[in-house]
Chains A and B, each alone.
Chain A
């Protein structure tokens, strides 16, 4: 029996590899990034030519995986929860086309928004698409579910969504691994128009998807991941899903109680099990990480009949990540009075690294905009979003990847001239290119700063698909060459950089400034590696 110490993310990766994976596709995003990184570092994956390079965004990742599935092989797509918004179109439609080789979409939610713009719950996407959803409570289950997930994906010819949350993604535990399965041989779909979603065929395919729903529910009913634990005290029945199960067990170990417990790890919800617990208990408590999704399906719109407690009635806070203490208080367990944090302790918000190229870009931008009314810099998501905080306070928005350019354009359309967009290199190729095309076609008076630190910094310095391509992309999209300016964000160039920014702010059309200097963190890593390589020669 081989046991590995793995993060939840790594357990997913190892599980996929061992289940006969042929290709993984992803765009980085906390807390999902380590899934693909693990596959990239796996010797077995390399030797067996498992695809593992980064995609430009989540949509391209999802579609490439669908192509691999079309060819009969097993594919994995990984992303953070908001990535599923970007991939939503192919994801929802992949339920209609169905899968040929198994497809698992791993989406990592971030309740409490440790590193995110929202705390949306991916399970709703699974329900929306009408595909099976798996929700592990432990690293071992995450590993095992990959094997099971690919099997049901191929059995029912449907993609499967695997939903985890931050805590499981970034928590390590021992995982017992199985024998590695061989990859599938290439085999195209038997029905040559399976993937042609012309209305006539799409209607047929949709009926197939509707047709398998009862079987998916039976599968849930019999699944090892949905468990009913009998209990003698029927005053309360507890329904618990995902990692919340661990918090419940922590409390059970300390304060023995004997309520019946229904542990959910697979959706669609197992109706018979729900009927049983609702039938035999006076009251139901639902403990789920994320939105009150199970709770809402139990109460319905009017909430008549069943007595259900959870996030809606305030038994559990409506937002945020769960923990053992929140679950204890939901169970009515007397709160322990902890020591207090002394008043003098202050928070330590994240900040740009010393020497970060973005610092010089923001200093120059602030000076170039001096004299204009404030509130005209639309920005995006990346390390540079920290430019919203003091001492820079250089940017006025951060919504979703790519929104800087499009929002600047819209604001310019409304008369805010000049409008500025500040976007990172990786974000630009993720979702900024089509935005720039709109601006070029409309001759919008905007100045776009593409901060090129030659990496995807925020998530740990992954390869940036934009590397070495930015000027050419801008030119190709129709930006006037004279208004594509590459600068080096360094203190010694400050005055020149301010002058160039001012010139472009005065230009009545689309201009692009590319401050280019490598992220100091990846630069230090590379220098270290080079030195090591030189030393070993």
Chain B
């Protein structure tokens, strides 16, 4: 088993939390992992990404080689496209369709979504909106993790446990909201897969 995952977004969008949750779940599953993330200057509203490598064998490189990522999980649609060179043939892109516009020259969002539509394996939806419906505006990242969860080869329960562990000190309400967010994302992906396979 081997999964190479790129987690992408803009500084402050909760990339590190997604990585931390998968990390804890992977450790619980007894898998080897390496996960590199961006700290420093770019966190100030710049583009950030995390390379996440899971395997049942020892992982060598901390960085995923180009063209080897099985999944790109992106909290922002343009950021999903930025890492396409990392994607393996047949790899999946799971992305938020809601843009985060903090630059004056942000491209036409319809063109961005059009590029994503053209990818063979993609799942794009407004995760901000799903989070808003749950009254958990800050949990769009967890919704996306939920949507990516069927592709991860990690027990769903282990992801839930990781959320309990990581958000536990913030209180039960925060834990539950994030468990709901995870579930909503998961449901979305499963419905989509069902319709796609028909």
Contacts and interface: CB of A to CB of B under 8 A. Distances in A.
A341 B8 CA distance: 14
Contact of B41 (A170, A252, A253, A350): A350
B40 A340 contact: no
A383 B43 CA distance: 11
Contacts of A352: 44
Nearest to A247: B61
B27 to A, nearest CB: 6
A325 interface: yes
Interface of A: 3, 5, 30-31, 33-34, 114-115, 167-168, 170-174, 243, 246-247, 249-250, 252-253, 323-325, 328, 336-342, 344-353, 383, 386, 458-460
Interface stretch (B62-70, B127-135, B142-150, B180-188): B62-70
B34 A171 contact: yes
A114 B60 contact: no
A348 B47 contact: yes
A337 B66 CA distance: 9
B42 interface: yes
A338 B102 contact: no
A349 B103 CA distance: 8
Contact of B42 (A33, A34, A114, A173): A114
B85 A173 contact: no
B82 A341 contact: yes
A170 B38 contact: yes
Contacts of A168: 62
A324 B63 contact: yes
- Interface of chain A: mostly helix, strand, loop or mixed: loop
A54 B85 CA distance: 41
Contacts of A338: 66-67, 84-87
Contacts of A167: 36, 62-63
Most-contacted residue by chain A among B27, B44, B66 (CB, 10 A):
B44
Contact of B81 (A170, A250, A323, A342): A342
Contact of A170 (B37, B64, B105): B37
B59 interface: yes
Instruction: Pick the 6 closest A-B CB pairs, nearest first.
Output: A30-B40, A115-B40, A171-B36, A250-B61, A350-B46, A249-B60
Given A247-B61, A340-B84, A345-B81, A170 B47 contact: no
A324 B65 contact: yes
A252 B60 CA distance: 10
Contact of B39 (A34, A339, A344): A34
B61 to A, nearest CB: 4
A114 B37 CA distance: 12
B32 interface: yes
Given A173-B62, A246-B62, A346-B107, 10 more contacts: A114-B38, A171-B36, A173-B59, A249-B61, A250-B60, A339-B84, A348-B79, A348-B103, A349-B103, A350-B44
8 contacts: A115-B40, A167-B63, A247-B60, A325-B66, A338-B84, A338-B86, A339-B67, A344-B108
Nearest to B51: A171
A336 B87 CA distance: 12
A336 B66 contact: yes
Given A174-B27, A348-B47, A350-B45, A341 B61 contact: no
Contact of A341 (B39, B84, B103, B105): B84
A162 B78 CA distance: 39
A174 B44 contact: no
A267 B61 CA distance: 23
Interface residues of B, number: 48
A115 B42 CA distance: 8
B91 to A, nearest CB: 9
Most-contacted residue by chain A among B38, B86, B87, B106 (CB, 10 A):
B38
A350 B11 contact: yes
A348 B102 contact: yes
B10 interface: yes
A328 to B, nearest CB: 7
Contacts of A348: 10, 45-47, 78-79, 102-103
A433 to B, nearest CB: 26
A84 to B, nearest CB: 18
A342 B84 contact: yes
A346 B45 contact: no
Interface string B3-39: 0000000110000000000011001000011111111
A342 B86 contact: no
A438 to B, nearest CB: 30
A386 B79 CA distance: 22
B112 A344 contact: yes
Given A5-B27, A172-B34, A246-B62, A339 B45 contact: no
Contacts of A458: 40-41, 44
Nearest to A528: B170
B46 A247 contact: no
A172 B42 contact: no
Most-contacted residue by chain B among A167, A170, A253, A386 (CB, 10 A):
A170
A57 B81 CA distance: 41
Nearest to B33: A173
Given A347-B47, A348-B47, A353-B45, A342 B115 contact: yes
A512 to B, nearest CB: 27
Most-contacted residue by chain A among B64, B65, B111 (CB, 10 A):
B65
A437 to B, nearest CB: 31
B17 to A, nearest CB: 13
B35 A172 contact: yes
Contacts of A33: 39
A38 to B, nearest CB: 13
Nearest to A328: B65
B168 to A, nearest CB: 14
Interface in B58-102: 59-67, 78-79, 81-82, 84-87, 102
Nearest to A457: B44
A212 B29 CA distance: 48
A428 B24 CA distance: 40
B37 A344 contact: no
A344 B42 contact: no
